[in-house]
Amino acid sequence: MKYILKIFNFIIVFIILSISFIYAHPHLFIESNPTFVFKENKFACVQIQWIWDELFSDAILMDCDKNNDLEFDKEEINSVYKDCFINIQEYDFFTILEINSNKIEYDVTDFTATIDKKTRKVTYYFNFRPKKVPSKIKQITLIQNDPTIYTSFRSKDKNAKEYEYYGIQFEMEVE
């Protein structure tokens, strides 16, 4: 009897976990367009452009475009930064930056946000600046992924690779 009860409990747990996995899917969608920047032949930063989907863009517009002119002024950009962007800092901005297969710490700088008046999509621009850069670099890897599966990343860059469920990976070989 105990054996049958254990099997029954296992089956129930398996079904519940299976159902929750089936319903786990992204709610936010980002088109990510990174640019690897070098200055004086040294890796300086990764410039990031995130284009948000229509629904999240509408939420940002309702909360942050106070005068409804489809342009962010300085105060509204600060609102986007404080109310929408900086919240993901605790998730490392959904980003892993690696140099020569070693995870690198970075600062996030130069944040701004714009609105495309035709599509009403919000775009974030910011930089990932490595805190330390090795003197010899063979490869730089940028991974953008939300492990909670709440945000999906995609890119039009033909060199972007899928990463886990809804993430993307960019690699750059350096000579």
pTM for the whole structure: 0.84
CA 23 to CA 168: how far, in whole Å? 21
46 or 164, which is more confident?
Answer: 46
Cβ distance 106 to 96 under 8 Å? Answer: no
CA 24 to CA 27: how far, in whole Å? 9
Q: List the domain boundaries for the chain.
A: 27-173
Using one digit for the tens of pLDDT, what is the confidence trace for 70-106?
A: 999 999 999 999 999 999 999 999 999 999 999 999 9
CA torsion angle for 38, 42, 43, 45 (degrees, to 10)?
-60
* Bridge partners (DSSP) listed for residue 174: none
**Is 161's pLDDT higher than 50?**
yes
Using one digit for the tens of pLDDT, what is the confidence trace for 117-149?
A: 999 999 999 999 999 999 899 999 999 999 887
**Is 24's pLDDT higher than 70?**
no
pLDDT at 59: 95
CA 113 to CA 131: how far, in whole Å? 24
